[in-house]
Amino acid sequence: MKTFKYLILSALFISVGAFAQEDEQKPERKPGHTNNNKFKQLYDEFSTPNMFRTASGAPGPAYYQQQADYKMDLELNDDIARITGYETITYHNNSPDELKYLWVQLDQNMRAPDSQTPLIQSDGVAPAQRAGTFVNSYMKEKLERGFNIEEVTDVNGKALPHMINRTMMRIDMPKSLKTGEKFSFNIRWWYNINDHVNEGGRSGYEYFEENDNRIYVISQFYPRMAVYNDVEGWQNSQFWGRDEFALPFGNFEVNITVPADHILDGTGRLMNRKEVFSKEMMNRYELAKKTYDKPVMIVTQAEAEKTEKTKSKDKKTWKLYAENVRDFGFATSRKFIWDMMAVKIGGKDVMAVSMYSKEGNPLWEQWSTYAVAATLKSYSRMTFDYPYHKAISVHAPMGMEYPMICYNFGRPDKDGNYSDRTKFGMISVIIHEVGHNFFPMIVNSDERQWTWMDEGLNTFVQYVAEQDFGEWHPDALSEGQDKYPSRRGPAANIVPYMGGDQDFIAPIMTKGLNTYQFGNNAYGKPGTALNILRETVMGRELFDYAFKEYANRWMFKHPTPEDFFRTMEDASAFDLDWFWRGWFYTTDYVDMGVKEVKKFYVSSEPNEYVKNIVKERGMKLSDLPPLVYMVEEGSDEYKESMKNGTLLENSPTLNEYVMDNFTEEERKNIKQPKYFYNVTFEKPGGLVMPIIVEYTYADGTSKTEKYPAQIWRLNDKEVSKAVASDKEIVKITLDPNLETADIDTSNNSWPKEVKQSQFDQFKNEVKN
Ligand SMILES: [Zn+2]
């Protein structure tokens, strides 16, 4: 009969519980309500796995990628800032498809007089502009920019039909290119190099009036093959100037002719070092290869200052060869100071290199090469050993990346003074741009389509590397700083963006060209999301293993977003669909709080709740098994229990049960919680996140509990937890270390913290 009674009882509790809820709140019914459960698995959003890309996020058995090899002869005319090139592209069709035509990217045409890029900018009148920009915008004819394609020919020099659609050129092959076949063709071209300081751009020259000199940083400068793959077909989405690049891997043989007094470095191995280096430079280079603790000057500041005063009429050709790179860039000037230092990466020596003009000193000689070396170490630890033989940081007033070479800002004033902001800005941009060697130069994602895949992942590792740098170079920190002041990465720093105007926020999974607040969208938010995923959701061990697995699976390959999302889950046994959905597919923000805290005691005095049930069902209290009742502090039942002495310590029901069911030995170890709290958490924000709660007790000690994000799976608005404790809780704080990017912390504590208003502060100050 006992069993029977229990059955009735549990049935009663369930049904009464349900009724009670309905009485309290009327169900909310929305017309056309779709399934937007935050824990709905990602099937609709994901492409179906196949033989090219598996469900685990790894390349599949039929995975392929195209290859494009380049042979280029380039010449720089420094007098008129023009570059001329003749290139031979050999395109390998490794796809199972037959290709009728090839697409070549003509990025320089974004600057051509007929470019549509300026026409899609909603710009208005700028309140202030650089004089040069103003003159270019309003006072001059449109500049002669963009590619001049002089000829497109096959290997026999016969003209090939081609069509140019703005920044894309279609090459029509004489016959279709079958699987496993290759096709070679030549392009002769030239263009006038842009002044990137006044005209903008990711490459070009900076002009120095003193001595009439230029520093050239040259990139997306040659007709480049577009990517053809299993997800996009040809990636021939136009270059509008913002979304970066999608490029296949290949080998580059590049000869660059520049004035004989120029210093040049770029992607690839220098094949004729003895021809272009002086004896002195050769000796210094040999020393640098064996020096691991400080940069060795290859060209000193005194030498560079002497060189920039004259101009050689002679020419020199620098020969570079690079294997398995997706792009090529170089920098050249007679103004360059040059230093190098060796760094051990996975038992191999890599050269950390810096090229800068005197304008960058004393900052550049002090930090650039160290920042390069530290970046290679941190990133190699987080991903794979840096596979190239060098990494160059070039001083130019921008931040931009290419394989083995990048351009970085950070310039002291004319007297050599610089602020903390300039110093850390420079170190950070070097870490960021050198870091791009990993994402997207080696883990070769499609930048044109998914800015976050390189910028977001890179910003995340940049944060890790910055923190390493602060640890390894404490002398770089300023007084009072105990760690590197990272701008992006810490959760709290993304709050102003995520809590901002929803009309100007787009999901991360939006093409970069079409997003507002580009930096926050494609760099800050995904970088921070991954940092939160690592520190707060998964933990470092699981995250780091999975992240490394992704990097290694897709090293020298072309991953998609799903490949990343799937690998992170596949390698960790962590279902992260809710995380990707919330952080990457929506613009939801985090806002969680403590709604209410009620304190209960155990009693053997029947409470109203049970009495009512018994009455409604026509039962007697004695029909029920012995029950332990919870009474809320301050309630009538509580007062009654106090009077009758039926509270926890001498609750006869509970004591009897314990005596009957446990041995004396067992009873010694039994816990006796004294206080019971019903803590209700609310979630005004759309993002689901773990609830991190710090419980502070009356004796001053505290305990932190983390409830996984899945606590929200059945109720997205509020959830309750029963907390039993033998010490009285005096304070509850949500997210005490600001790990979740909670946009409103005013509801994060119980009892509610009354913040002193500025007026009160003012009053106190006046009183004092
Ligand atoms: Zn970047």
**328 CA distance to ligand 1 middle (Å):** 17
* pLDDT for the residue numbered 602: 87
Which residues, other chains included, contact 398 with Cβ-Cβ below 8 Å and sequence gap of 6+? 196, 202, 217, 407, 408, 409
**331 CA distance to ligand 1 middle (Å):** 19
Which residues, other chains included, contact 635 with Cβ-Cβ below 8 Å and sequence gap of 6+? none
* pLDDT for the residue numbered 31: 59
**17 CA distance to ligand 1 middle (Å):** 55
**pLDDT tens by residue, 390-432:** 999 999 999 999 999 999 999 999 999 999 999 999 999 999 9
Task: Give the rounded percent of residues in the chain with a pLDDT score beyond 90.
Answer: 76
Mean pLDDT over 291-307 rounds to 98
Mean pLDDT over 243-251 rounds to 95
Contact between residue 649 and residue 678 where contact means Cβ atoms under 8 Å apart = no
* pLDDT for the residue numbered 629: 87
The CA distance from 185 to 103, in Å, is 12
**95 CA distance to ligand 1 middle (Å):** 30
The CA distance from 396 to 643, in Å, is 81
Buried b (16+ CB within 10 A) or exposed e, 115-142: bebeeeeeeeeeeeeeeebeebeeeeee
Report the SS3 class of residue 75.
Answer: strand
* pLDDT for the residue numbered 22: 42
Of the ranges 32-41, 53-62, 367-376, which one carries the lowest mean pLDDT score? Answer: 32-41
Average pLDDT in the chain: 92
* pLDDT for the residue numbered 138: 84
State the first-to-last Cα distance of the chain, in angstroms, to the nearest integer: 75
The CA distance from 528 to 536, in Å, is 11
The CA distance from 687 to 709, in Å, is 10
* pLDDT for the residue numbered 381: 98
Contact between residue 152 and residue 186 where contact means Cβ atoms under 8 Å apart = yes
* pLDDT for the residue numbered 763: 56
**519 CA distance to ligand 1 middle (Å):** 9
**pLDDT tens by residue, 54-63:** 999 999 999 9
**690 CA distance to ligand 1 middle (Å):** 30
**356 CA distance to ligand 1 middle (Å):** 20
* pLDDT for the residue numbered 4: 43
Mean pLDDT over 172-180 rounds to 97
**463 CA distance to ligand 1 middle (Å):** 13
**276 CA distance to ligand 1 middle (Å):** 32
**522 CA distance to ligand 1 middle (Å):** 9
**pLDDT tens by residue, 255-293:** 999 999 999 999 999 999 999 999 999 999 999 999 999
Tokens standing for 63?
């995975």
Tokens standing for 238?
């136009």
Buried b (16+ CB within 10 A) or exposed e, 26-51: eeeeeeeeeeeebbeebeebbeebee
For residue 223, give Cα distances in angstroms to 92, 145, 258, 627.
16, 15, 20, 81
**436 CA distance to ligand 1 middle (Å):** 6
**9 CA distance to ligand 1 middle (Å):** 63
**441 CA distance to ligand 1 middle (Å):** 11
Q: Is the peptide bond before 708 cis (omega within 30 degrees of 0)?
A: no
**pLDDT tens by residue, 620-635:** 888 888 788 888 999 8
**423 CA distance to ligand 1 middle (Å):** 18
Taking each helix axis from N to C terminus, what angle separates 363-382 and 540-553, rounded to the nearest 10 degrees? 90
**458 CA distance to ligand 1 middle (Å):** 7
State the CB neighbour count (10 A cutoff) for residue 507: 17
- Please state the φ and ψ torsions of residue 762, each to the nearest 5 degrees: -60, -45
Which residues, other chains included, contact 528 with Cβ-Cβ below 8 Å and sequence gap of 6+? 460, 488, 489, 490, 491, 493, 494, 741
**247 CA distance to ligand 1 middle (Å):** 16
Residue 270: HSE in the Cβ half-sphere, 13 Å Cα cutoff:
18
Using the predicted structure, report yes or no on whether residue 16 has a pLDDT greater than 80. Answer: no
Tokens standing for 35?
């399934």
- Please state the φ and ψ torsions of residue 525, each to the nearest 5 degrees: -70, -50
CA–CA–CA angle 111, 263, 399 (5° rounding): 45
CA–CA–CA angle 286, 289, 293 (5° rounding): 125
Contact between residue 145 and residue 113 where contact means Cβ atoms under 8 Å apart = yes
For residue 484, give Cα distances in angstroms to 438, 730, 741.
22, 35, 20
**459 CA distance to ligand 1 middle (Å):** 7
Mean pLDDT over 104-125 rounds to 87
**pLDDT tens by residue, 492-543:** 999 999 999 999 999 999 988 888 888 999 999 999 999 999 999 999 999 9
**547 CA distance to ligand 1 middle (Å):** 19
Tokens standing for 168?
């894309």
**456 CA distance to ligand 1 middle (Å):** 8
**635 CA distance to ligand 1 middle (Å):** 60
**429 CA distance to ligand 1 middle (Å):** 8
Mean pLDDT over 672-686 rounds to 94
**299 CA distance to ligand 1 middle (Å):** 29
**550 CA distance to ligand 1 middle (Å):** 19
**164 CA distance to ligand 1 middle (Å):** 29
**pLDDT tens by residue, 632-666:** 999 888 888 888 877 766 677 788 888 888 998 99
State the CB neighbour count (10 A cutoff) for residue 478: 10
The CA distance from 721 to 733, in Å, is 14
Q: What is the dihedral of CA 46, 48, 51, 56, to 10 degrees?
A: 50
Contact between residue 562 and residue 509 where contact means Cβ atoms under 8 Å apart = no
Residue 765: HSE in the Cβ half-sphere, 13 Å Cα cutoff:
7
**455 CA distance to ligand 1 middle (Å):** 5
**447 CA distance to ligand 1 middle (Å):** 10
Q: Is the peptide bond before 397 cis (omega within 30 degrees of 0)?
A: no
Mean pLDDT over 157-169 rounds to 96
Using the predicted structure, report yes or no on whether residue 175 has a pLDDT greater than 70. Answer: yes
Rg (CA), the chain: 33
Contact between residue 304 and residue 211 where contact means Cβ atoms under 8 Å apart = no
